[in-house]
Structure 1
Amino acid sequence: MTERISYVATHGTSMNPVYYEGDLVFVVKADSYHVGQIVAYHGDVPGQRVLHRIISGDGAAGFVIKGDNNESIDPLTPTTEEMIGRAVLHVPHGGIWLKPLLGPSGLGMLSFLVVGGEVTARTRRDIPRGRRKKKVKAMSRQGGPWAAAAAVLKAVERLPPVLRVAAAVATALTVCALVLGILGWMKPIVEKQAGETTPEQSLAFSYTTKVPKSAAYDSTTVTAPEPIFRKLASSAVLHTRYKGPAGTLNLQATLTNGTGWHTTQTWVQKKSFPGPTYDSTITLDFAALARRADDAARAIGVAPNGSVNIALGATVESKGLSSLSAPLQIAITPFQMALTGNTQLETKAGGTVSQTVVPRELRIFGVSLMSASQARSNAILALIGAVAIAVVVLLAARRRMPMRTRAEIENRYPQLLVHVEPMPSPPGKPVVNVDNFPALVKLAEKYGQMILTWRRPDADDFVVRDEGITYRYRVPLDEPTLQNVELINRPNGAGSHRRKASSSSQVS
């Protein structure tokens, strides 16, 4: 691919729910690609374009690519150079309604709208008459679409000022629709907007105790998360440290012994503190805690085992913030006190930037113009308006287009035509050449006459006669224009001479 921008009209369901059947996706060729991007590359079938997501690999050895809705990966592993591009703009169902516009005929029509708008932006006198005629004549000689375009442009030039302005408006609306459509659909209609940063908070547990020097520990102080052996220590000091804004802290403990019994104790009453740091300490008496569990076991008829499980829950409440809770699990057995489960000693919260979802705005130099959803709606309305105005202008231009063949004239005005043998014009009477057939039709309707027509070797003549004046429209057989056409006139079968057709020439 040599072009930087291309498009893919999606087929099938391989990228559901990101893209659906008939969507239009524009892709831009990039210097590098990475995992997670949706990219387009050439398939193994000529002309096929595959739009899937990169899941692994690199640009040198080749990327591993897979459709989001596919179970298997793609058989091809394109490199960076083999990529068509990465997806940058998604137009839902755009592949359906833009398919006619992306074909040769659609592109030709868009070109005509743009060129037609440029033509209406200037008056006919801005261009020298001779050069304009020469250009139109050269285009008409090429035949086919160029001839049709030249005829349409010439017809637009003949339109009344109001319709020429309408053509310019249609062109402006088309450009506006394209710009708004690209800006409106290139990103989602909503975006995340950064808000305030929430204050950082943390709750940390720790415990310490003193033990005699022994082979069990490397020092005489035991700290969390090491277990504490009850033979060497009978208690420990539990520390709770909070960092953050001012608030209140309370600490509760739930005791269980595995029998279904439980009790909840408040070890630290809810207490206010100014912040930014608050420390609380309590003493854990291992024997007293185990004895409380054993008493409950005896009360329910279960043999005591000298063990107790403690679930700690510290909660901090600060004004304007969510509650911060930190759990801790401790098990006390006749042998030791130790942490259980996957309990973390520190819990953190805050310190993040809050985000809110807001409508995406289109901005120029920091000034908001409209939301993305409004841009999409306005693009559709502008396109509908442009199409409606263009249809009116084209219909009006078509009515003013010169009819270049007898067949066109006979198909449109069969009721006004009378086929006769060639008739000479009355001697001494003027002959007025009209430059388009609709003008001849108006003359026929004005005078209540039929249009007489006959064939000549070099042209087809259409004539209206009234009060001695002959109005004539001539369709040459070799060119669709009357400028610079030389006719051969042989009056009375005598010698011939050449002259240019004029408004006073004789009809032979």
Structure 2
Amino acid sequence: MTASTKRTASLGFFLLALLAAGFFLWPTQLGGATAYVSTHGTSMEPGFRTGDLAVLRPVEDYNAGDVAAYRSDMFDTVVMHRIVAVQNGRYTLRGDNNSWLDPEHPTRSEFIGKLALRVPQGGHWLQRMTEPMFLAALFAVALLAGGATTHARHRHRRRTMSSPSVARRASSSLSQLPARVQGSIAACAVLALVGMSLGVAAWASPTTEKASSGEDSGQRMSFSYSATVPRSPAYDGTTVSSPDTVFRKLVDTLRINYTYTGAAPATITPVAKLSTASGWHSTVPLGPPVDVVDSDYTGTLRLDLDALEARADAAAAATGIPASQTEIAVIPEVTSDGLPTFSPAMNLTLTPLQLSLTGEKTNPSTTEATSTAPDARSLDVAGLQLSVASARTASVLLVLAALAGLVLIVTRGRLRRPISDRSAIDRRYGRMLVEVGPMPTPTGRPVIDVVDFATLARLAERYDLLVLHWLRSDVDTYVVQDQGVTYRYRCGTAPEPDPSSQEEAFSHGRPAT
């Protein structure tokens, strides 16, 4: 296999490896299948610590024991825990360091991926490596290193070189390159700087922002609750209403009043979603779907507290995990053509002794939920409005294009660099070379020029001869003298010689006249 074939094969293997790595590591934000999660918290200790990097890949089947990640609607973040059970297409997860189960039970389609690789403290390093100053410094070093390598190959290297000499050669390497190459490198640098600048602004901004009050979907829901109670010291009258605490000893059934304002026609499906700290959850219908034809609708729901508590107690008995309280989300879910599903909720906490609003109590006694369609956040780029998602994609593509351009410049330079480069010939064929002074053209001996030094080397090996070499006027001449024939290869540039001199003519590779 010739040297050029070996170089081509090596380049091919390198490109295949690069494509394989790119296929595996291509992020989901750019259409790939690999997700990167920087971990925080203590739920997965000791296997994971804050700052570790988790590399996730989607799989066909998720099984108990797998570490997987999903986006939690409850906590509005990505949760990565271990699967402990699978039932009816839903998965139960728990952190290795947690004593409780996750309250949410995702399906297979809701998983981001399964853990493929853990990089200790890789999240911290990834954050540092994506900082603008680090990227700029890395790109500058790559340019100087690439330029220094290209420049050094055009000269014969010394066996020893002092550090100041290396620094001077590296600093001046770019200026020694051809103008066309300098222009290409400058274009790559501009692309990289634009991509990094755009990336800093894009990745530091959320992709969406909450719509302003004048641009929401116009759907609103107001909640309140009330119940009739016997006269007792617990209340001043015979009615308890939100946001007052409901004492279970006096109240068995609660009326939930809701008022919907928004798009019509619509369909309202009322449900109650129950959950406990153990991870159990269930959905209980509160009535049949209601068709709404007007933009304003008021409805009433009946909440049987004893029945809901009995449902939670039955689940606790089945799982063996007692629940001290049950979270209840009363949701009259609204569906309307042309709009996303509107799922407002009144959140309540139920214990054996009382029921109350979850969180801070509000006054007045109604709780309002609104539906807003989040707007895609945009950036002003040179007077052009560009969405943050598009800006992120563009920034990555620009940086990748710059790096690909730099690799292409270096690769083409290496492939186009002939084997006639003196330093390459010295390294590979030094044992065959004999340094001599410039020689005149032998009288009556034909001179045959070969196309490359490798051919001359094969001729010398075939006839068991040495290669004569001399340098004159920046031209390297290599000669193999066989019986009655002189084979010659020369490289370098020099002014046109004077044909009147036989010695000059032969030293510059011209037959004597």
Q: Which has the higher helix share?
A: 2
Q: TM-score, normalised by structure 1?
A: 0.35
Q: TM-score, normalised by structure 2?
A: 0.35
